[in-house]
Amino acid sequence: MKDPIMLIEALDNPNVRAFLRMLRHGEGTAGEDGYRVMFGGGLFDSFADHPRQAITRKLGGTPITSTAAGAYQYLSRTWDGLVKQYGFADFSPKNQDLGAVALIAGRKALDDVIAGRFEDAVRKCNREWASLPGSPYGQPVVTMARAGQEYEANGGTYEAVAQAEPEAAATLADFINPEALEADTITPTPKEQTMAPFIAAVLPSLIDLVPKLGRLFSSGSETSERNVKAAEIVVAAAKEAIGARNEQELLEILKADPSAAAAVRGAIESQWFKLEEVGGGIVAAREANAVYLQPGAPGFWLNPAFWVSLAFLMMPVMILVDMLFAHPGSYDDTLRTQIITAVLALLGIVGAYWLGTSFSSQRKTELQSGGAKLPIA
């Protein structure tokens, strides 16, 4: 068990106290009853322990369940982790403050807070409190300027920045580094794009909800960027569907509320067209078909997409012939309008597909031949 003395000493620091007041402002618990606030705005009675009440509220018509409570909106399992580390005997205001200091220390930001490196501390803590500026969780946040105002109003100060001494005049030798010049001739290996740990943690649960998600994700540097983009779309849709403030709350709600799981499943399904685009979709198909339009390539009539497009067009042509010439009296005005609209839409889709393929093929040819031109400013 960790020694809480360090937390008690840190809480005596005026910058730490000002930072905690700033956090409470962002979490909406700055009032007199802030230490008693539960998710949804209700108040609990006893400080003997975290209230551990899973409260459901409807936000935007979707039911949301959370155990968040106290001045820093601790989830019950977050508080349990702090109790295990520091042995807090109750959920009193003093222990809630000490717990917040512990979370700041856990984010390696306590030294920054004490020294007055305010913005550095905020950036390190914005994954712990979703209301902080720059938080990646998608809920409303306060601006850095507003957070700074609250910090200053409660006595927070900033680190004094020493004025830099005038630099000596640079010579040519200062800019010559033989090792750097040699390294500059080597083509660097592309760095594989990695997925944010919070997104990676929640993704398996979402794949359990929608198993076909699994086929979108694979390993290797060539697919890492696609995987990251698809994961971001999936997790963002899931959070928005149930109003979760962050990935941690999303997991907790999914485990506690079957109706939330259904809402998330529907939201992911509604975004499937975006996921297909990330995984390949129309863009990949155009790239494949563009091969048939390159100089020296096989004739376009050998392209499977040509015959598929032709089949799509045959049916509306036959319907139009029947409507205009064979049995014109069998169609009323409403049906004629609907058929013509559908035919035009289908023609537009097929036309846009082939125009896009032709354009991408033309661009590829220009780039390969060095004929691409930069835009003129």
Residue 76 has a pLDDT of: 94
> Per the confidence metrics, is the pTM higher than 0.95?
no
pLDDT of residue 81: 94
Residues listed for the chain: 377
Which of 66, 62, 77, 84 lies closest to 2 in space, CA to CA?
84
pLDDT for 262 equals 80
Architecture of domain 5-153: Orthogonal Bundle (1.10)
Phi, psi dihedrals of residue 60, rounded to the nearest 5°: 65, 30
**Residues in a beta bridge with 66:** 55
- Give Cα separations from 19 to 25, 86, 98, 339 (angstroms): 10, 21, 13, 65
Is the CB of residue 259 less than 8 Å from the CB of residue 209?
A: no
> Does 225 score more than 60 pLDDT?
no
User: Quick one: DSSP state of residue 174?
Assistant: G
Mean of pLDDT values over 184-206: 54
Active site residue 27: yes
- For 288-303, write each residue's pLDDT tens digit: 555 555 555 555 556 6
pLDDT tens string 264-275? 787 777 766 555
**Distances, alpha carbon 227 to alpha carbons 191, 193, 303, 344, 351, in Å:** 14, 9, 29, 36, 30
The pair of three-digit structure tokens given for residue 40, joined into one six-digit string: 């949804």
- Is 190 exposed, middle or buried, given 0-12, 13-18 or 19+ CB atoms closer than 10 A? exposed
Catalytic residue among 9, 27, 252, 269: 27
Residue among 344, 343, 319 at smallest CA distance from 331:
319
